[in-house]
Amino acid sequence: MGTALLVFRLAIRDVRRHVAQAALLVVAIAAAAATLTMALALNGVTSQQPYAATRAAAKGPDVVAYLTSASQAKSLIHASGVASSSGPYPVASAVIRFHGRIADVFAEGRSPAPVAVDQPLLTAGDWVRPDGVVIERTFADALGVSVGDEVSVGGRSFVVAGIAVTAAQAPYPNLCNGTLLGPDAMESRFSNACPPSFKIPTLSLSGHRELSSSDDVGLIWTTESDAIGLTSPADPLTTYALNLKLTPPVDAQAFAYEHFQSNPLAVATWEGIASEDGLLVRDGQGVLQPGALLLALLAIASVAVLVGRRLSEYARRVGLLKAVGGTPSLVAVVFLVENLVLALFAALVGLMAGWLASPLVVKPGAALVGSAGAPAISVTTVAEVVGLAIVVSLAATLVPAIRAARGSTVAALNDIGRPPRRRGTLIRISTKLPIPALYGLRLVARRPRRALLNGANIAVTVTGIVAVLAFHAYADDKLSGASALTAGGLSNPVINRDEQMLTVITVMILTLAVLNALFTTWAMVLDARRSSALMRALGARARQVSSGLVLAQVLSALPGAILGVPLGFGLFTAAVHGGTLPPVSWLVAAVLGTLVAMAGLTIVPATMGTRQPVTEVLQAEAA
Amino acid sequence: MTKEEATKGVESLLLRTQGLRKEYGRDEGLVRAVDDVDLEVTRGETLAVMGPSGCGKSTLLHLLGGLDRPSGGELWLDGKRIDRLSERGLARLRRWDIGFVFQAFHLMDELTARENVELPALIAGRSSRQAGVRALELLDQVGLADRAGHLPSALSGGQRQRVAIARSLVNEPLVVLADEPTGNLDSAATLEVLRLFDHLHASGQTLVIVTHDERVAATADRIVSMRDGALVDEIRLTGGTRANLRDLMTLER
Amino acid sequence: MQQEVVLALLAKEPSQGYQLRARLNDALGPLGEALNAGQIYVVLGRLEKTGLVSLEGVTGTRDGERKVYALTPSGQERVSEWLAEVTWPKPDLAEFHLKLIAAAAAGLADPIGIVDAQRRELLRRLRDVQRAELEEPDGSDAALLLEGIVLRLQADLRWLEACEANWTTRRRKQ
């Protein structure tokens, strides 16, 4: 018990003396923890099956059929296996305008009275009335409308009567929807993540060619007469929607196959719609999970760097512990415990941050009922996040701790730190180089482990950057040039959210990487103080010495930066299953930019180091 | 200037300081590490600077060697004024004109003896081959040719200091400055180093040695003493005759 | 020349005077050259008178007679005693110390000046002895002796520095 208390007190005292480093450690691990929390929350959202909740609340159909005339409905309504139905409802295509934004819409004409199948659930306002439209919730978000706003549909003015969610259609924007099609009915699927059972209504776009993006079609509900009123001889009514509920046991696929074998695009099953909902979420996960992994790796690297310097100081403090009856193994235990406690604290911070931020992430499942607000954090999530923090902490501290524990007390007291390594060949090669290169190369050669750590840091950073670039290239490709804004000026919520998450993760990665780099360069400059002073004493110029320091950093970072490119792209394709390599110029810019940033970060401590008078340094080091 | 010095001619003066000062702190906290020192060193002379610890002799040496900037006064090396040099100029000074030997040797632990010795030559721009050859030459001169490939950890204290001395000579400096060169050595190693200094002196190298060891000082042509940053005494050691040795016989009761 | 030294040199075997001298020279190196050549015979004579050494015989050579000396039993005893003695020849610090105090008290001279002068002298001697030592081959007997003298001088010099510091402080306090 006494030992435990002692360990605890020593650990606390240690943290108090190195608050900055402890804070950094917490930040690094918390970032990774927060990202993981968000990823798991998103996961939780799908596993909570909110689609099922929506389906129940909005009386979702088992099958939705898109017919070209109302008369086709009769045979389906009376087909075997059909329990109930609603419709056929006329579906007109029109253009909606609101505050300068334009989008294509499908306007489904409905009766004001509620029906038994597919009664969209109002989340705000009232149901349809003459001159009053109800807008699907995700689309309403993208358009930026709220109840009571005036919109123009098909040239006519309407008021937004309400906002609702439905289980009969996947929410805006339709990721799988590529079939929107001009009169030539060209299919243009762009994501092969679509489940094979999903079918898309064959509706023709209104003739407005300026709206180039084919999936920016929103869903609104109007009264039947209003819907018909939106058609014109030039733009006739060609589609009717029929919602069917089947008798149990419900096999929507079989029903769809039986009746629509020849025209598979005319029917949608509830499983298909559900999986498209899921796609939105999985799409988000595709960003978060790799992001969490990258951050975890960076966190390990950060902790390793932070901890590496401190271990030699620990060794020196063994003398103090000896007075208390301690040994090197006690030192190691204090060390491990301290870092573990900090990691746990960081896990808590990350959990909270991730929980608070998760609505941001979960939002474009806004069509899904019960997903507004922060989702509950399950026990498994907490366990997994804490587990991550522990793994990160141990990964970085276990090896040094074991080494410290095994070390002899005498050696620790005399602070026989690891002597620099000798690489005869590299030294010989360096003699043929100009002085900065000679010095830089020798610096890398004498501490290969640190060079490796540096390279690993940079590799992780560049991996993150390349993955982000690959996403941008992919997104650009996907929206054929348009970014987060559709041609009509609407914000594409999925891309938006994805980009938001990406931005946040990229910022976190970059911040951690910069902090990491700063610490590494600072550690390196400090470690090289004596040899830098000696070089100057022997006649090297301060500029040559600081250039050597910069070169050493860049040299150790270079392999990592280059490695980060294939790793980053690999990570992206693994997450998204597809995608093209970003343009070479971007990749080169990423690599060069990182190296230049590294060089820049080294210049300041390097120059400051070479300002100190030689004799001061040499006397301090000799003492 | 005495008549003797005047007849010597100013060219034979290698090192000259006038009113050299180094101060730290301000007002009440002002510390005069080197206080208005006038010093002259002739070519080929070995000068010893003695004094109690903290008297400023090491600081003086660092000023002479361009490792630190004086707060005031003049410093001349080989007829050129060096107290106002830029960082670049000082670096060149340390490269070509001055060799420094430290008390703690300050060899690079991961370099062999030869690599340590050749380093100043490489810094001075000599080719890899030239530098290596010159390093071996010097190691031979100090009697460590067979240890050229050894790391400092495999050398004794005296051997390390001899490597350091060899290093200080590699660019044929005008003057070698040694700061307590035997401070970390036992008496046997001290003798090795003294023998080396003797050889250097015989070959005409100008040496300025800061030391508190009387044995080391006794090898010099001239000893100056410092106290509290100022020169207080000067002793010229002329060679004694053998007859003196008789006095040293303590065999008579 | 200590009598006991000559006695001890004879302990190995009966020898002639010149042999003893040669052995002394070997052991003393350059210091031996300062020895008066005739001193040995004076000491031998004294030792013979006190009965510690006896004349073994006389060898005849073409150059004339050479006396051969040998230890008597009491001589041998004396040697054994001497080897076991641990007194160390005393340097005369007390005299110098009193010199300084007397000079200061009587105002005859500046003690610091006296110390400086003594220091100068000792440094010169140190230089000479050290030079001699450096010229000796490594590990020779003479080198070892010279080292001892050097170290003694060094110790004395240290004491002189302490004197200087002490007397400077005294003066400042006045």
Residue A7 lies in a domain: yes
**Is the pLDDT reported for residue A58 higher than 90?**
no
Verify that A422 and A390 share a domain, yes or no.
no
Q: Do B88 and A541 touch (CB under 8 A)?
A: yes
Residue in the block written with tokens 């440094």: C123
Q: Sorting pLDDT into bands at 50, 70 and 90, what band is B20?
A: very high
Residue A589 lies in a domain: yes
Provide the CATH topology of domain B7-238.
Rossmann fold (3.40.50)
Verify that A485 and A619 share a domain, yes or no.
yes
Compare all CA atoms of chain A with the CA of B104 and give the residue at the minimum distance. Answer: A622
Task: Quick: pLDDT tens for B202-249.
Answer: 999 999 999 989 999 999 999 999 988 999 888 888 654 444 555 555
Residue C78 maps to which CATH number? 1.10.10.10
Q: Do A538 and B120 touch (CB under 8 A)?
A: yes
Using CB atoms, pick whichever of A431, A534, A539 lies closest to residue B91.
A539
The pLDDT of residue B122 is 94
Q: Does the beta carbon of A449 lie under 8 angstroms from any beta carbon of chain B?
A: no
- Low-confidence stretches of chain C (pLDDT < 50) are none
The pLDDT of residue A524 is 82
Select the highest-mean-pLDDT range: B16-20, B186-190, C113-117: B16-20
Q: Do B94 and A431 touch (CB under 8 A)?
A: no
Task: Quick: pLDDT tens for B148-159.
Answer: 999 999 999 999
Verify that A305 and A202 share a domain, yes or no.
no
Smallest CA-to-CA distance from A554 within A604, A517, A581 is with A517
* Neighboring chain A residues of B94 at a CB cutoff of 8 Å: 536-539
Report the gap between the CA of A422 and the closest CA in chain B (Å).
5
**Is the pLDDT reported for residue A408 higher than 70?**
no
Q: Do B120 and A539 touch (CB under 8 A)?
A: yes
Verify that A116 and A168 share a domain, yes or no.
yes
Task: Quick: pLDDT tens for B37-79.
Answer: 999 999 999 999 998 888 889 999 999 998 888 999 999 999 8
**Mean of all residue pLDDT scores within chain A:** 76
Verify that C76 and C99 share a domain, yes or no.
no
Select the highest-mean-pLDDT range: A360-364, A428-432, A483-487: A428-432
Q: Sorting pLDDT into bands at 50, 70 and 90, what band is A417?
A: low
DSSP class of residue A215 equals: T
Verify that A138 and A201 share a domain, yes or no.
yes
Best mutation target among A615, A616, A619, A621 (most B Cβ atoms within 10 Å) is: A615
**Is the pLDDT reported for residue A53 higher than 60?**
yes
The pLDDT of residue A175 is 43
Verify that A576 and A505 share a domain, yes or no.
yes
List C-alpha distances in Å: C14 to B71, C70, C74: 73, 4, 15
The pLDDT of residue B253 is 34
User: Could you give the 3-state DSSP secondary structure of residue B32?
Assistant: strand
**Is the pLDDT reported for residue A208 higher than 70?**
no
Q: Do A540 and B123 touch (CB under 8 A)?
A: yes
Residue A465 lies in a domain: yes
Residue A74 CA to residue B69 CA, distance in Å, equals 103
The pLDDT of residue B224 is 94
Range of the domain at A7: 1-56+278-409
Q: Does the beta carbon of C117 lie under 8 angstroms from any beta carbon of chain B?
A: no
Range of the domain at C36: 3-84
Q: Do B100 and A537 touch (CB under 8 A)?
A: yes
The pLDDT of residue C30 is 77
Task: Quick: pLDDT tens for A556-612.
Answer: 999 999 988 888 888 777 766 666 777 888 888 888 988 898 888 888 888 888 888
Using CB atoms, pick whichever of A422, A432, A539 lies closest to residue B110.
A422
* Neighboring chain A residues of B91 at a CB cutoff of 8 Å: 536, 539-542
Verify that A348 and A449 share a domain, yes or no.
no
Report the gap between the CA of B83 and the closest CA in chain C (Å).
33
Do A598 and A557 contact (CB within 8 A), yes or no? yes
Q: Sorting pLDDT into bands at 50, 70 and 90, what band is A462?
A: confident
Task: Quick: pLDDT tens for B119-155.
Answer: 999 999 999 999 999 999 999 999 999 999 999 999 9
Verify that C111 and C154 share a domain, yes or no.
yes
The pLDDT of residue A41 is 75
**Is the pLDDT reported for residue A190 higher than 70?**
no
Q: Does the beta carbon of A419 lie under 8 angstroms from any beta carbon of chain B?
A: yes
DSSP class of residue B85 equals: -
Verify that C59 and C126 share a domain, yes or no.
no
DSSP class of residue A265 equals: G
Question: For residue B203, what are its two tokens?
Answer: 């070959």
Task: Quick: pLDDT tens for C54-90.
Answer: 887 776 665 555 788 888 999 888 887 777 665 666 6
Q: Do B239 and C31 touch (CB under 8 A)?
A: no
* Neighboring chain B residues of C128 at a CB cutoff of 8 Å: 239-240, 244-245
Q: Number of folded domains in chain A?
A: 3
pLDDT, mean of residues A283-295: 71
pLDDT, mean of residues A283-296: 71
The pLDDT of residue A182 is 24
Q: Residues in chain C, how many? A: 174
Domain coordinates in residue numbering, chain B: 7-238
Verify that C76 and C117 share a domain, yes or no.
no
Task: Quick: pLDDT tens for A136-175.
Answer: 888 888 888 899 999 998 888 999 999 998 888 877 766 4
Best mutation target among B62, B110, B126, B176 (most A Cβ atoms within 10 Å) is: B110
Q: Do A541 and B87 touch (CB under 8 A)?
A: yes
**How much of chain A, in percent, has pLDDT values that exceed 70?**
73
Verify that C110 and C153 share a domain, yes or no.
yes
The pLDDT of residue A211 is 35
Phi/psi for A370 (5° steps) reads 80, 15
The pLDDT of residue A187 is 30
Q: Does the beta carbon of B147 lie under 8 angstroms from any beta carbon of chain A?
A: no
**How much of chain A, in percent, has pLDDT values that exceed 90?**
11
Q: Does the beta carbon of B132 lie under 8 angstroms from any beta carbon of chain A?
A: yes
Question: For residue A132, what are its two tokens?
Answer: 């009053």
The pLDDT of residue B53 is 82
Task: Quick: pLDDT tens for A488-516.
Answer: 666 666 666 677 777 777 777 787 778 77
HSE-CB of A342 using CA atoms within 13 angstroms: 32
Q: Do B103 and A419 touch (CB under 8 A)?
A: no
Q: Does the beta carbon of B87 lie under 8 angstroms from any beta carbon of chain A?
A: yes
Report the gap between the CA of B26 and the closest CA in chain C (Å).
25
Q: Is the confidence metric ipTM above 0.95 for this complex?
A: no
Is pLDDT larger for residue A372 or for residue A327?
A: A327
Question: For residue A417, what are its two tokens?
Answer: 């730190």
Report the gap between the CA of C96 and the closest CA in chain B (Å).
17
Verify that C157 and C121 share a domain, yes or no.
yes
The pLDDT of residue A547 is 93
* Neighboring chain A residues of B111 at a CB cutoff of 8 Å: 422, 427
Q: Number of folded domains in chain C?
A: 2
Verify that A67 and A46 share a domain, yes or no.
no
Question: H or E segment at A311?
Answer: helix A270-323
The pLDDT of residue A248 is 85
pLDDT, mean of residues A306-313: 62
Question: H helices of chain C, where?
Answer: 3-10, 17-28, 30-33, 39-49, 73-84, 93-106, 111-135, 141-173
Q: Does the beta carbon of B62 lie under 8 angstroms from any beta carbon of chain A?
A: yes
Chains that touch B (3 or more CB pairs under 8 A): A, C
Q: Sorting pLDDT into bands at 50, 70 and 90, what band is B18?
A: very high
Residue in the block written with tokens 């001290």: B190
Q: Does the beta carbon of A485 lie under 8 angstroms from any beta carbon of chain B?
A: no
